[in-house]
Amino acid sequence: MRLEGKVAIITGAGRGIGKEAARLFAKEGARVIACDVMEEWVKGLGEEVKGIEGYKLDVTDRGMIEEVVKDVYERYGKIDVLVNNAGITRDALFVKMKEEDWDRVIEVNLKGVFNMTQVVVPYMVKGGGGSIINTSSVVGIYGNIGQTNYAASKAGLIGMTKVWAKELGRYGIRVNAVAPGFIKTPMTEKLPEKVVNIVLDRTPLRRMGEPIEVAYVYLFLASDESSFITGQVIGVDGGLVI
């Protein structure tokens, strides 16, 4: 029970990595607030696994975030962990990328994390500490063809992680980023075989990752086992260098 008694908010918990993390955190004793813009995906999860509660939450909607976070705090009296896992892609080559696709990816992946964290942090300060985990990507480190908007958002997350680690450390709040490589989730299932083969070629472990392999790193960073770790970017990528 590595998260016994902790209250954890996970965004984008309706499927993929976030869903796997919600299940793992609940198994490890946390009260999990599983948030997703797709309400039916998280509601079902709440009925399926003890310790998980599903909430409809859009990370781009500041008013909705304030309501949900306040409700969680009033019910449980604290928030220990925030996993900013929600993210989207809208890929296109740079010269063809539509302005609306740039805006949407930045709004969800970057501003969504700003929104969530700014609302949650005052409650963590009141509670005397916490752990914030931001889901970046190898693409935010190395770049990737067709992902100008996504790479900008995920690199931006690394910058924010380092700033917040410096600003919030004095309150006992740790802030780290996780940078997954290519993980088998609905986000990657439509990738052309050619692209997958290129990625596998550049991955020393010669396979894609499983969502649980990212969830275990979230678990470590959320737990007290990582109590002296902050401002770090942890790769979960099978050794991939794009």
Alpha helices by DSSP H, listed for 52-147, are 62-76, 99-105, 112-127, 138-142
The answer to the question of residue 238 lying near ligand NAI (CB under 6 A) is no
Nearer to ligand NAI, 124 or 183 (CB): 183
Q: 41 or 102, CB closer to ligand NAI?
A: 41
- Tell whether residue 235 is a contact of ligand NAI (CB under 6 A): no
Helix, strand or coil, per DSSP, at residue 235? strand
User: Of these, 60, 97, 200, 231, which contacts ligand NAI (CB under 6 A)?
Assistant: 60
Label residue 222 left, alpha or beta by phi (over 0 means left) and psi (-120 to 50 means alpha).
Answer: alpha
Q: Single out the segment in contact with ligand NAI by CB under 6 A; choices: 45-53, 67-75, 160-168, 179-187.
A: 179-187
Stretch in the footprint of ligand NAI (CB under 6 A) among 96-104, 125-133, 162-170, 181-189: 181-189
3-state secondary structure of 11: strand
Tokens 């949407």 correspond to 104
Q: Which residues are catalytic?
A: 150
Question: Token match 């999990």: residue?
Answer: 32
Which of 115, 117, 131, 137 forms a contact with ligand NAI (CB under 6 A)? 137
Tokens 């075989």 locate to 193
Shortest distance in whole angstroms from residue 34 CB to ligand NAI? 10
Q: How far are the Cα atoms of 52, 53, 198, 199, 226 from residue 182, in angstroms, in the given order?
A: 27, 28, 11, 8, 24
Which parts of this chain interact with ligand NAI (CB under 6 A)?
A: 11-12, 14-18, 36-38, 41, 57-60, 85-88, 108, 112, 135, 137, 180, 182-183, 185-188
